[in-house]
Structure 1
């Protein structure tokens, strides 16, 4: 995938067409400025820190000698800066508009500073700190709305190869290049299938375009950037070594997973007991559902979930068919539908995390009969076992529940995007999207 600084998701002045960068009017200056990171951060400081101060005190009568006020200003500035950094990193990923993430991201950083205040027993102004958080959310949400409306990418397409498969997102305007002449004004980038044997004229054009400073993307790289999927076509392009995730982060992530599962299990024990009691009262059978699933490095393990279906078995259905959950599946109980929609049925998998079999975030583990079937139908399917399976994952928040082989292939593309971009930033984004999924019920069956 292209480097973050070169992707079309960049928040810098490069995101504007050349004709707009040359616009010297006041409107053009404002359009250019809104895409600059330093302008966004400086505006946030003025709007979220200075404005509440001016509203609370006279501009020239701010009592900076008060330790509580000084602590609040410093803490809010740190929370705002960290929030901006997290915010920019998260909105680099496909399908992530900043409009939806200002509230949770800044809540995370401001809450962290608040915990630090309490832990160190530092005095602070509750009014100014709360007002700073509210104004930060308003500022960056407004910025995101303005950027979405102002930013339209123009990308030139070099004919040949698989460029016809490029997606059609609303934020991109494709322009097909008919001749290898001078690059049209106003293009943000050029895309080409670099595996194609181009004529010397087109090769010279591509080289000159890159030398001139215009980004040139391979079609596959741009597809990944726009769709959040890594398509797998040839073994030579997707070897196991090339797809190996960061080994250090794997170990750190496992430690964080284990500690988080232990704390969550202790905190939610009353809720788990209540859910188990309702399940037992509603239908016959155990409260927990156990199933053999394919896990990390292809090892089979037993997954634990709250039971959401009746225990009756249909002798006319194969083991593979019984492992699938269909639309409006009649086996699902009334309370089970609620558990599936809210994802509360997944909570017992904290046991699997404590046993080192699963993670909070990762590709969903499949039932053994399904996994064996998918391995026969889909090439490279086993490569998804290179990381620990998760309670939630990139495919779940982007695609939802699927079972058909063609849909599973698309799910596999999402899984490989996760593995290729394995990082704490993507994990944090999936956590935020999972919370939204729990509230909306997206993808539940």
Structure 2
């Protein structure tokens, strides 16, 4: 509940302020009704937070928060109506979305937050794992006490044994949460451990299957709805590139798509003719004047909306690599082939967290985020990725 204290107070303050604007602008003097509504709505937000604490580590924290907040809000409005409290329904309706957004963001943060004292059971790689979690205690004895321990991290292959059974039983009886250290790392860092990742780790829930089927419709709808904005922007970029360097305004390259199938990916050409391709460096002299800004705010990616329409790409997914670069990475990192399990994306979880890569070491870090996305695909994760993409574009980070 401490995690939700500030969001609850902030939601209540904004909701009451919004409601008061509509309530008092009609020159109403029934302050008692206003105070009753303020108390009921604050109480409703507190109830929402209390319910959300029971859904820790569950999938879809944003959608869960929206649904629960909507149900509690509806009950609160019904109570006020049943009690014949004169309210401003317009004020209630317009004050609700802000409170809902704050609680959804708070629940997403709560979902991935693991507070408390952590212990790691001893095994061959315990020292390496301990370095990942500063402050974690190493337990070497199965008879050790668990005073003030909130989480015990295990390696499933090593610790599901008779030797450690007494300690694991003590955890269950003492309400100490047991987690594989890889899962704990996923929740904290929002990426997988590539070395221990197996394809069997991808086990979708019914909700994930349903969203995977809906995702194609969402992609097409998003492209169609935004055409009044993206088409004029694309036309301006194309005219500018043609004015600067003539020639073709599009850069076309074969990339590896879903299941390894090659496809033609389109971008606006931002380099001088004949100098496209290859790794890009900071202040690359091949980039035409003004096109560094186009790359920084990702306007060069606009033609990929066509790739989405024809089904080669999705709005969100692992960024497709050129065929030669993908083959190189797959030789260096065998797990790299798992990126082909979903449609590649215009933006993705790896792009908003790790940025540009140019070597296998950086590609492994990026892969950790891509595999996390593939394993945890959901509308929640896509919403967070979109939000981070907008922030990245506004700040102009990650592009070369």
Q: Does 1:162 align with 2:117?
A: no
Structure 1 residue 169 displacement after superposition: 7.5
CA contact (8 A) 1:279 1:335 kept: no
* CA 1:352–1:190: 2 relative to 1, 3 Å: same
Distance in structure 2 (CA, Å) of the matches to 1:133 and 1:380:
42
Deviations 1:268-292 (A, max 9, x none): 2111111111111222432111111
- Judged with a 3 Å threshold, the aligned counterparts in structure 2 of structure 1 residues 43 and 210 are, in CA distance, closer, same or farther, namely same
CA distance in 2, matches of 1:128, 1:195: 54
Q: Hey, what does 1:336 align to over in structure 2?
A: 291
Distance 1:84 1:302 in 2: 48
Q: Shift of the alpha carbon at 1:200?
A: 4.8
Number of equivalences? 364
The equivalent of 1:417 in structure 2 is 372
CA contact (8 A) 1:244 1:386 kept: no
CA distance in 1, matches of 2:102, 2:250: 44
Give unmatched runs, 5+ long, in structure 1: 1-32, 65-69, 111-123, 315-321
Whole-Å Cα distance in 2 between the matches of residues 158 and 260 of structure 1?
A: 47
Residue from 138, 142, 166 that aligns with 1:204: 166
Specify which of 136, 140, 144 is matched with residue 174 of structure 1.
136
CA distance in 1, matches of 2:96, 2:203: 42
Which of 261, 265, 268 is 2:230 aligned to?
268
Q: Give the SS at the match of 1:357.
A: coil
Work out whether residues 169 and 226 of structure 1, in 8 Å CA contact, stay in contact via their aligned partners in 2.
Answer: no
Q: Which residue does the alignment assign to 1:115?
A: none
The within-5 A match list for 1:124-135 is none
Alignment equivalent of 1:195, drawn from 157, 161, 171: 157
Q: Matches of residues 275-354 of structure 1 in structure 2 within 5 Å?
A: 275-313=237-275, 322-354=277-309
CA distance in 1, matches of 2:255, 2:168: 48
Q: CA deviation at 1:40?
A: 7.4
Contact 2:20 2:91 in 1 (8 A): no
Give 3-state SS (helix, strand or coil) of 1:196's partner: helix
The whole-number CA distance in structure 2 between the counterparts of 1:313 and 1:52 is 56
SS in structure 2 at match of 1:309: coil
Distance 1:359 1:62 in 2: 48
For residues 265-323 of structure 1, the C-alpha deviation after alignment (integer angstroms, 9 at most, x for no partner) is 34321111111111112224321111110001111000111111112349xxxxxxx43
Query: Is 1:238 the equivalent of 2:198?
Result: yes
Distance 1:281 1:368 in 2: 31
Match of 2:190 in 1: 228
Matched, 1:59 2:18: no
Distance 1:175 1:52, change over 3 A: same
* Separation of aligned partners in 1, 2:370 and 2:179: 22
* 8 Å contact kept, 1:365–1:390: yes
SS for the counterpart of 2:184 is helix
- 1:130 positional shift: 6.2
- Contact in 2 for aligned 1:52/1:131 (Cα 8 Å): yes
Q: 1:137 to 1:228 in 2, by over 3 A?
A: closer
Q: How does 1:48-127 map to 2 (within 5 A)?
A: 48-50=14-16, 52-53=18-19, 56=24, 58-60=30-32, 62=34
Distance in 1 (CA, whole Å) between partners of 2:49 and 2:223 is 28
Pick the aligned partner of 1:214 from 146, 170, 176.
176
- The match for 1:388 is 343
Alignment correspondent of 2:322: 367
**Structure 1 CA distance, aligned partners of 2:378 and 2:264?**
27
Distance 1:61 1:207 in 2: 54
Secondary structure of the equivalent of 1:229? coil
Q: TM-score, normalised by structure 2?
A: 0.75
**Are the aligned partners of 2:194 and 2:364 in contact in 1 as well (CA < 8 Å)?**
no
CA contact (8 A) 2:319 2:345 kept: yes
Q: CA RMSD in A?
A: 4.4
Deviation at 1:155, TM superposition (A): 0.3
Change (3 A) 1:389 1:278: same
For the 8 Å contact 2:11–2:102, the answer to whether it is kept is no
TM-score by length of 1: 0.68
Corresponding position of 1:24: none
| 1:136–1:48 Cα change, 3 Å | farther
User: Match of 1:34?
Assistant: 2
Give a deviation string over 1:54-81, Cα, whole Å, max 9, x none.
67465315499xxxxx9xx99x99x989
